Amino acid sequence: MYIYPTKEAIMENKSLTLRLPAEQAEALEKVAEIDETSVTEAIREAIDAHIAQRIADEEFQRRLKASMDRHQRVLDRLAKA
């Protein structure tokens, strides 16, 4: 699951804007309230779970490897330029 950042890493956080339908935002707020956490932390946990799910997916891993191979070829070409 999520590894809490060090004080130094907190300074490197990236701010994002998230737009949600009002009904979804209200539901998220209530879930966070009931779980006694912040909306921000609830979103972080959901993102962590999504990333973990994608990492465990074999098809995702296949596409990831293909993407890495494509990018490596481009990087190799640029390094020789």
pLDDT tens series, the chain, 81 aa: 666 666 666 668 888 999 999 999 999 999 999 999 999 999 999 999 999 999 999 999 999 999 999 999 899 889 986
Q: Break the chain down into helix, strand, coil percent, rounded to 5.
A: 70, 0, 30
Predicted TM-score of the model (pTM): 0.72
Q: DSSP label at 11?
A: T
Answer whether 48's CB lies under 8 Å from 1's CB.
Answer: yes
Task: Report the pLDDT value the prediction gives residue 49, as an integer from 0 to 100.
Answer: 96
